[in-house]
Structure 1
């Protein structure tokens, strides 16, 4: 799958292979998308420190799933052979940290971007209406109902609702009628409440930068983590942006713990699969840094 965009079917194939290769990987279905596709959650590790990573919140940012799955294979391989990943002993990370990964939050949207309206199923007519009759979906960020999943969280959602140009279902930027209406968002929200993560990280594209603050509610340790992420990846560290209702925003607002939005790569979304090697080289360094960082230290 490393040379091919990762849709929902290829994700399932990759997870099947991961599960067969490594007995210490736990894979579970934690919900379904609007169109009934399984939403997968992976856990690796046995440590008290709990970190979460997710990808493909936005449909045309599917290369984030490729990046995260590639990292999981690389990490598991190093655990299995007692090797190092980014100069860290993989088995020590395994013992110290429990990794939670949600590799494709928006499978319906990803499939729509990659394969067109034939994947919209019962939502076909609605999708075409939202897209103004166009059969081109490369710009589509939302889920299949035209709701932007990263504008659905209860962290000053009302501000985003008021100022977004989109006032109804749209290919991007419509936050819905109220927060947490979409099943994909509710699954992530519930998972986060249940697992009580020490830090979270959401992969997006593009910009080669990351955001780590929210209304000065982030803990002091977030700055130290941001400095380390910037050091290892050479991505630009941005504390504040004028944004609300995202997953990172809600996590910081609700838990006062480190949360990050990582904008992988540069270009126009969707970034081509040929960018994956260079994206992964820097992304993997950030992911290992998150695994290794002691947020309580």
Structure 2
């Protein structure tokens, strides 16, 4: 929500007026000097939107403010051209409305357009988040990263490296939305105050690593790649089993962590819907973007969301640090998922992260069944993974 500064206004006053933490106001307005506002300057108020209200006979600002649980000055601030003593029946004014319910809906097919729209809406309501592009897909779609938090501990989450595991993107975006609401409404999650986490952690989220693949699974092939992907899919137009990127390369077999062994053990020797590791490590733009992000940001830990199995993989060749075990045990406790140190698999993102940085990396296999998992599992998965999300920030 945007407001225009009046004489005497301060960010501290807006914090009191809208009951929004002052630090979130400051972070929502990074180009503003918080100690020197000027008249007419626009300020973003996080956690609020505006709605129109039609004046009824007998309305006064005081009556409206009581009915909407607002201070009268909040109405005056966003209706500065209004004469408060001459409200005209049938005319409209703006009402600030606190956002208290999620805007991210997990109960739908979560394709690239859906995640893009949700990112745009979250940025508008919670302007203290930062949205950047870390690269582009084969078909040129931007791969978005969302950042928030002021701390030195850097925690990264990603989802939908595998195309038919797209429900991971909606879960991750819903977790972010829930966390943002907790911050602006000053409400704990499972008894945990979230502002200290915001202050102590820098959170990185790539909600959809493989947008081209996700759109193929959910929407079918676009004309420009139709013939190519049907050939890769062995003549079938059923793409529900597709995990790879649009070129038929499995992005979670693309990282230089014993890639040669993964290539040798894979039954796929050419582009395929799944399990083909490519001609070399890091040939695909999506994998390159993720590797560059990790190198540039130097995360303290990473969590990659996958489906399915209700398991947590956390080891790689004995290179994982001692804290990985403690984290995995806590993730298991709060989710009910099984902690698994080693599996015979290589070249994944978490494998490479552990090898490259000797820091904790995790693959979280959410839910149970056959991919893509049904939306009926969304609520259960969300509750299970919420504990993992909080523990990853807190510990």
TM-score by length of 1: 0.97
Say which of 287, 303, 309 aligns to 1:207: 309
- Aligned partner of 2:297 in structure 1 is 195
Confirm or deny: 8 A CA contact 1:58 1:149 kept in the other structure. Answer: yes
* Pairwise CA distance, 1:226: 0.6
* Pairwise CA distance, 1:86: 3.0
* Pairwise CA distance, 1:126: 1.2
- Secondary structure of the residue aligned to 2:202 is strand
- Aligned partner of 1:76 in structure 2 is 180
Whether 1:244 aligns to 2:346 is: yes
Distance 1:238 1:272 in 2: 25
Distance 2:340 2:265 in 1: 22
* Pairwise CA distance, 1:24: 1.1
- Aligned partner of 1:92 in structure 2 is 196
- Aligned partner of 2:73 in structure 1 is none
Distance 1:201 1:88 in 2: 20
Say which of 355, 377, 381 aligns to 1:253: 355
Distance 1:33 1:86 in 2: 37
Aligned ranges for residues 57-76 of structure 1 at < 5 Å? 57-76=161-180
Gapped regions of structure 1 (runs ≥ 5): none
Aligned residues: 291
- Aligned partner of 1:9 in structure 2 is 113
- Aligned partner of 1:111 in structure 2 is 215
Whether 1:27 aligns to 2:123 is: no
Higher relative contact order (CA 8 A, sep 6+): 1
* Pairwise CA distance, 1:251: 0.5
Distance 1:133 1:213 in 2: 38
Aligned ranges for residues 202-241 of structure 1 at < 5 Å? 202-241=304-343
Spell out, residue by residue over 1:185-225, the C-alpha distance to the aligned partner (whole angstroms, 9 max, x if none).
Answer: 00000000000000000000000011000011000000000
Bigger share in helix: 1
- Aligned partner of 1:124 in structure 2 is 226
- Aligned partner of 2:394 in structure 1 is 292
Where has structure 1 moved over 3 Å in runs of 4 or more?
A: none
- Secondary structure of the residue aligned to 1:122 is coil
- Aligned partner of 1:277 in structure 2 is 379
Spell out, residue by residue over 1:241-282, the C-alpha distance to the aligned partner (whole angstroms, 9 max, x if none).
Answer: 011100000000111100000000001000011210001000
Distance 1:40 1:7 in 2: 14
* Pairwise CA distance, 1:122: 2.4
* Pairwise CA distance, 1:81: 1.4
RMSD of equivalent CA atoms: 0.8
- Secondary structure of the residue aligned to 1:89 is coil
